[in-house]
Amino acid sequence: MTYNLIFEEVKKITLEVGAFIRSERKNFNSDKIEYKGLNDLVSYVDKTAEQRIVAGLKDIIADAGFVTEEKTINKTGERFNWIIDPLDGTTNFIHGIPTYSISIALKENDELVLGVVYEINMDELFYTWKGEKSYLNGAIISVSKNRTLGESLLATGFPYYDFEKAEKYMKVFSELIQQTHGLRRLGSAAVDLAYVACGRFEGYFEYNLNPWDVAAGALIVKNAGGTITNFLGGEEFLDAREIVAGNGYSGAEMLKVIVKHF
């Protein structure tokens, strides 16, 4: 099966599960919240969404493995592995803040070959696959062409359980807010990356991340003409627990500030 045909099947699953998440939010009760760790929230919505995604993806590539946030399945594939965040932005979802998404990526051997991010409340489906451009609801997207920090809007995420690098982060934050149109913290890494890909943000950086937070969005950024690195400018990001996404211009200037402090 070709990547574009795989995408069409993933799209169906994503939209169906997105509709489920949207529906459950209407009657969601805070009594249903569970804690996986300090400020690390989850609910039956995350778990059920993941189970539905996994069940659907099993029918596409029977022998594929899974890397999932809620660990509802334990299987490693020899060639293909899905990387899934069923509800990226759980804290937003629980508090009724309308920025959360589904993130699904496919890894073939050591290469990301497909990425889908669905921003549920905006009904925006971002996607790409190997050898293809990046899209938003069928239209080709590309990163911003703004060349300087002075004309850039950036995104980030704040530490919420591992504060070891908080002091360094605040130095980066302080410097960048003085040189840009501002920094935004939306609460969904997958959405932040998708917004870099379509030019809404010129750059995005964050640490304390997992592969399921960034896999799909990173490929979408790359295929939209952007750059992805870790905090030191290296290519490894998926397991580095940190990421810098940029447009190649002002994003590179943002990276210089981060490298200086980290």
List residues forming the annotated binding site: 69, 85, 87-88, 213
Q: Please list, in sequence order, all residues whose beta carbon lies within 8 angstroms of the beta carbon of residue 1, skipping any fewer than 6 positions away.
A: 60, 61
Mean pLDDT of 196-211: 96
Percent of the chain scoring above 90 in pLDDT = 84
Question: Tell me, what's the pLDDT at 143?
Answer: 98
Question: Tell me, what's the pLDDT at 73?
Answer: 92
Mean pLDDT of 58-65: 96
Mean pLDDT of 163-181: 91
> Tell me, what amino acid is at 77?
G
List residues forming the annotated binding site for Mg(2+): 69, 85, 87-88, 213
User: 8: which 2 tokens?
Assistant: 């069409």
Lowest mean pLDDT among 41-55, 135-149, 199-213, 215-229: 41-55
Is the pLDDT confidence value at 3 over 60? yes
Percent of the chain scoring above 70 in pLDDT = 97
Domains of the chain, earliest start first: 3-141 (3.30.540.10), 149-261 (3.40.190.80)
Q: Facing residues of 116 across strands?
A: 104, 127
Q: Quote the CA–CA distance of 231 and 257 in Å, as a whole number.
A: 10
Length of the chain: 262
For 8-48, what is each residue's pLDDT tens digit?
999 999 999 999 999 999 988 777 777 766 545 678 999 99
Question: Tell me, what's the pLDDT at 150?
Answer: 95
